């Protein structure tokens, strides 16, 4: 997947440099993404990263809820079968949450770095949606 070349540094309609505005759209999750998406009128870079921030955080929230429900159901079912199995699921759920959290952190840091470097870095799946929604 080839990324388009970085855009030239310039001001966004928010009054900030484009790369700073794009970076700030990730800082406070979906809220800062929404603020910059609604405020920005000119910069495609800022609008793209703001929309990707909104979608990334929505995906993290939905995945967290789904993961919590699956782990809780497994724990409840297996606790009826055996205490040892429920303990194993409890430990496994901690490992799964750590891996999930690390993956989210890596994605977030990559987005921050790429936004600050004026790059249109598309995350898998949601990057295409962000590009489509931000072009309107």
- Location of structure tokens 């967290």: 64
Domain edges within the chain: 18-130
pLDDT tens track, the chain, 136 positions: 455 555 456 788 888 999 999 999 999 999 999 999 999 988 999 999 999 999 999 999 999 999 999 999 998 888 888 888 888 888 999 999 999 999 999 999 999 999 999 999 999 999 999 999 988 7
**C-alpha to C-alpha distance for 101 and 11, rounded to whole angstroms:** 34
Kindly report whether the global pTM for this prediction surpasses the value 0.75: yes
**C-alpha to C-alpha distance for 22 and 49, rounded to whole angstroms:** 6
* 50: nearest Cα among 65, 68, 67, 28: 28
Say which residues have a Cβ less than 8 Å from residue 110's Cβ, sequence separation at least 6: 121
**C-alpha to C-alpha distance for 25 and 114, rounded to whole angstroms:** 12
């Amino acid at each position: 997947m080839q990324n388009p070349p970085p855009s030239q540094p310039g001001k966004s309609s928010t009054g900030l440099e484009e790369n700073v505005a794009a970076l700030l759209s990730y800082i406070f999750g979906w809220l800062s993404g929404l603020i910059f998406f609604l405020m920005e009128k000119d910069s495609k870079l800022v609008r793209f990263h703001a929309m990707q921030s909104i979608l990334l955080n929505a995906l993290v929230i939905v995945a967290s809820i789904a993961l919590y429900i699956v782990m809780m159901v497994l724990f409840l079912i297996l606790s009826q079968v055996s205490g040892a199995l429920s303990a194993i699921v409890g430990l496994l759920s901690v490992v799964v949450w750590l891996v999930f959290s690390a993956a989210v952190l890596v994605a977030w840091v990559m987005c921050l770095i790429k936004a600050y470097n004026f790059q249109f870095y598309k995350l898998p799946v949601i990057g295409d949606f962000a590009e489509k929604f931000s072009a309107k």
